[in-house]
Amino acid sequence: MTVRKTKVKARAKDVNQRLAERYPDARCSLDFTNAFELLIATILAAQSTDVRINIVTKSLFRKYPNPQAFAGASQVEMETDVKQTGFFRNKAKAVIACSKAIVERHGGQVPGTIEELTALPGVGRKTANVVLGNAMNTQAGIIVDTHVTRLSGRLGLTQNVDPEKIEQDLMPLVPRAEWTSFANRLIYHGRHVCVARKPLCPECFLNDICPSADLVREKPVKAKAVKANPQSPASSRGRSARSAMPSSPSPSRSRTLKSPPGRKPSR
């Protein structure tokens, strides 16, 4: 193991311990009562907030209580039901297709392996890890969402930007039994402290071991040019002064004006 890898592994261990101490109860923020509900909620959560998704799924799961109900829904009606989540046409299509596949291929039960889950329509590796880790207590991988991507980079735990490569970098750094809890804690920390645009580095309990502490700053806002108020005294004085100055004659009028030629007056 290289010196760099040794340092990264030691830092990851320290980060994991501190996160566990600060956020011992961190969990998935999506509301669910079973694996299927979490699967649907995670699909709908793309490009939306968990708070918004929890509002939508509260009534959605009452209307469609199981995979069979989702599979039998019409596209138009489902679009109306999930409209508040954004990108509702694609999401409606995805949850219906995913539910049909679960009913037809798995007897209405959410499959328990990452290979079977990622074979379902609309389900990627991140979604599969969310469901397996939080609803089935199966540590198949590490959840890599936008928060985990950002924080793992800032903490120097990976140099990659591709989610699957980041996951492969993180898995050897954290004990397998803690993969899901580690990701949940990173996500919580990313939402409240290590935010995207202006991280709260001075308040962060990881700032003494974070290579990016105090280096990530909000880009300075360029000052906008301020136009003079036409009613301001300064601009009024400027116009008055200009109007008081004699204007220079234009070249076309600079010639001496002569009377038109005519007869000489008679004596």
3-state secondary structure the chain: CCHHHHHHHHHHHHHHHHHHHHCCCCCCCCCCCCHHHHHHHHHHCCCCCHHHHHHHHHHHHHHCCCHHHHHCCCHHHHHHHCHHHCCHHHHHHHHHHHHHHHHHHHCCCCCCCHHHHHCCCCCCHHHHHHHHHHHCCCCCCCCCCHHHHHHHHHCCCCCCCCHHHHHHHHHHHCCHHHHHHHHHHHHHHHHHCCCCCCCCHHHCCCCCCCCCCCCCCCCCCCCCCCCCCCCCHHHHHHHHHHHHCCCCCCHHHCCCCCCCCCCCCCC
pLDDT in tens, 63-72: 999 999 999 9
The series of mean pLDDT values per 10 residues for the chain, 267 residues long, is 89 98 97 98 96 98 98 98 98 98 98 98 98 98 98 98 98 98 98 95 96 67 47 43 43 42 46
Quick check: pTM over 0.85? no
Choosing from 145, 208, 224, 227, which is the catalytic residue?
145
- Whether 126 is catalytic: yes
**What pLDDT shows up at residue 215?**
67
Domain annotation for the chain: domains and CATH numbers: 3-27+142-203 (1.10.1670.10), 35-124 (1.10.340.30)
Catalytic hit among 91, 126, 214, 258: 126
